[in-house]
Amino acid sequence: MEVRLMAIRKSSNTGIPFGNTSGRPANPAVGQPYFNGEENRLEIYTQTVGWQNIVAETPGVVSYTGTVLESNSTNTIVISGTNFSTGATAYLIGNDGTEYTADTTTINSIVQITAVFGVLAVNKEPYDIKVVNPSNLYGILPDAVSINDTPSWTTAAGSLGTFDELSSVSLTVAATDEENTSITYSSTNLPAWLSLNSSTGALTGTTPSISSNTTYSFNITASDGSNTRSRAFSVSVIDTTITLEALVVGGGGGGGGRAGGGGGAGGLVYHSAKSFEKNATALVTVGTGGLGGGGGGSPGTRSESAGADGTNSVFSDITANGGGGGYFGDTGPGRPGGSGGGGGYNGSGGSSTQGNSGGGTGYGNAGGGSALSGTFAYKQGGGGGAGGAGTSGSGSTGKCGDGGAGREYSITGTAQFYAGGGGGGGHDPFNSSLANNGRGIGGSGVGGNGGPVSTSDGQPTAGTDGTGSGGGGTWSNGGDSFDGARGGNGVVIIAYPNTFPAITTIPGTLTYDQPTRAGYRVYRFTAGTGTITF
């Protein structure tokens, strides 16, 4: 049978117009049909949409572009496909069948849609893409969309540790990404003493010096380049500063020879709150007392001379000057020192060189002078002490000058005087009505007594070791004279609460003991020099 195909053409009065898209009637009436050969479909003109396919077509979903992030509250994707009709709606379908309707669906063309979705759960990926036309015909692209996960922290939030001040810190925080994307770490409020490695999450630095225990809080953000997740951390720093009391006394000066003045006490420095960091070091030097001056004559075997100065005591940056030696039977002044030595004959007392040192308060006083005139002339002055000046000899009464008073402290747990001046030694003529013929008496802190003018009353006495007291000046009686007495060695004493650890290093050159003081560690250094470590 012969079949002939005939083209449909429009007559002047009847039939459906046809052509391509651009050939659609310019001013169609609502309901007018048109066959679009370019789109290969029969269309009708509607008032709301315009030209629309008369026969409903099933949309097809081919692919999409865009990134869906777990951390985003809005996620935009562009869907490519076929037969997308105006009024179509886009959906994402989770792996449990839950449908999520796009917040907005924009029909760009019959082959492209832009859809915006809200927050999407990671545990429901992969998602299907579904497009439904107004005709309820739809197309699906299965397992199309995966969520770009936010990094997950493996380091727990909160404290990363506790460290001593001025100590090294080396820590690491870590986060992972499900897509195995490299993580970058950052922080906007990291303490200035900490550094963060953006690639490894390493935290390094040195804790600062602090006056009280301190906790430093900060946040670190982990990013996979698209998503970010922050976590709060902290590091605690412990104040390890040892605050101690320090008493430093220089060696006492020696008493002067033959009719010599008393030796001046070593200078004294007291600090109520000296601070050191953990593992800090401090130099300790205990000053020695100066030798007494030569008495001359018989039974003296040395030439007449002034007493030697004591040497300085040192603790860290605190220096207590050695005491000045007492002058001998000549018109000379006592020697200057921490406290000044007593004058000889018509000499004045030596001046004090001790000032404040290392943040502590220094104490020292001048020595007393001598009396050249009067019924009882040649009465020598006492050495100065930390608590007062030495007194001068009296030509009218025959009394030799007494050593200046020391100062009392209970730093070891027991009250004791330190740095008393030595008493002055006598000379003919003397006043036998006075006790010991008026020899000078050592100041409290146990300064050495001056020698009397009678051998039956004994020799001058030395300053007490461990107190920095001055030695007593010697006497003279018709050419017979003992040598002046030596000054006492100085001392360095420190005390701090026993909640802090003991000193870790004390060199063998230092001689020390630990007196009892409830609740404190006390170190009393009485000889030697070296460096201790806290």
| 473 and 399 in a common domain | yes
7 within domain boundaries: no
Q: What is the pLDDT of residue 428?
A: 62
- How far is it, in rounded angstroms, from Cα 527 to Cα 70? 74
CB neighbour class for 126 (10 Å; exposed up to 12, middle 13-18, buried from 19): middle
> Quick one: pLDDT band at residue 7, thresholds 50, 70, 90?
very low
Q: What is the pLDDT of residue 287?
A: 98
> Quick one: pLDDT band at residue 534, thresholds 50, 70, 90?
confident
3 within domain boundaries: no
- Looking at the chain, the whole-number percentage of residues with pLDDT higher than 90 is 61
Residue ending a domain, choose from 238, 261, 290: 238
Q: What is the pLDDT of residue 466?
A: 96
Query: Which CATH number covers residue 75?
Result: 2.60.40
Instruction: Give me the count of residues in the chain.
Output: 534
203 within domain boundaries: yes
Read off φ and ψ for residue 437, nearest 5 degrees.
55, 25
| 263 and 344 in a common domain | yes
- How far is it, in rounded angstroms, from Cα 18 to Cα 23? 8
| 84 and 23 in a common domain | no
- Please give the tally of structural domains in the chain: 4
- How far is it, in rounded angstroms, from Cα 511 to Cα 527? 5
Q: What is the pLDDT of residue 378?
A: 75
Mean pLDDT for the stretch of residues 285-303: 79
pLDDT digits (tens, 9 = 90+) for 96-137: 999 999 999 999 999 999 999 999 998 999 999 999 998 888
> Quick one: pLDDT band at residue 492, thresholds 50, 70, 90?
very high
In this structure, what token pair is assigned to residue 212? 């009280």
Q: Which amino acid is at 411?
A: I
5 within domain boundaries: no
In this structure, what token pair is assigned to residue 382? 């006492």
> Quick one: pLDDT band at residue 332, thresholds 50, 70, 90?
confident
Give the 3-state DSSP-derived string for 181-239, with helices as H, strands as E and coil as C.
CCCEEECCCCCCCEEECCCCCEEEEECCCCCCCEEEEEEEEEECCCCEEEEEEEEEEEC
Q: How far apart are the first and last CA of the chain?
A: 119
Residue ending a domain, choose from 219, 238, 257: 238
| 311 and 384 in a common domain | yes
Higher pLDDT, 445 or 408: 408
| 125 and 216 in a common domain | no
Q: What is the pLDDT of residue 302?
A: 54
> Quick one: pLDDT band at residue 8, thresholds 50, 70, 90?
very low
Q: What is the pLDDT of residue 48?
A: 76
Higher pLDDT, 34 or 445: 34
> Quick one: pLDDT band at residue 41, thresholds 50, 70, 90?
confident
| 298 and 425 in a common domain | yes
Q: What is the pLDDT of residue 429?
A: 63
8 within domain boundaries: no
Q: What is the pLDDT of residue 143?
A: 95
Q: Return the minimum-mean-pLDDT range out of 20-29, 34-43, 343-352, 422-431.
A: 422-431
- Looking at the chain, the whole-number percentage of residues with pLDDT higher than 70 is 92
> Following DSSP, what letter does each residue of 113-151 receive, concatenated?
EEEEE----GGGPSEEEEEE-TTS-EEEEEEEE--BPPP
277 within domain boundaries: yes
2 within domain boundaries: no
* Mean pLDDT for the chain overall: 89
4 within domain boundaries: no
Q: Is the pTM of this model over 0.75?
A: no
Whether 46 has a pLDDT exceeding 90, the answer reads no
| 306 and 267 in a common domain | yes
> Quick one: pLDDT band at residue 479, thresholds 50, 70, 90?
low
Whether 92 has a pLDDT exceeding 90, the answer reads yes
| 519 and 415 in a common domain | yes
Residue 109 carries which DSSP code? Answer: E
Mean pLDDT for the stretch of residues 347-358: 96
Q: Is residue 83 within 8 Å of residue 110, measured between CB atoms? A: yes
| 510 and 410 in a common domain | yes
| 526 and 390 in a common domain | yes
Residue span of the structural domain in which 384 resides: 241-534
Residue 453 carries which DSSP code? Answer: S
Residue ending a domain, choose from 111, 145, 179: 145
Whether 353 has a pLDDT exceeding 80, the answer reads yes
- How far is it, in rounded angstroms, from Cα 268 to Cα 386? 6
Whether 39 has a pLDDT exceeding 60, the answer reads yes
| 398 and 328 in a common domain | yes
Q: Return the minimum-mean-pLDDT range out of 156-160, 172-176, 391-395, 448-452.
A: 448-452
Q: What is the pLDDT of residue 295?
A: 77
Cross-strand bridge partners of residue 529: 285
User: Which of 147, 194, 149 is closest to 175 using CA atoms?
Assistant: 149
Q: What is the pLDDT of residue 300?
A: 47
| 187 and 96 in a common domain | no
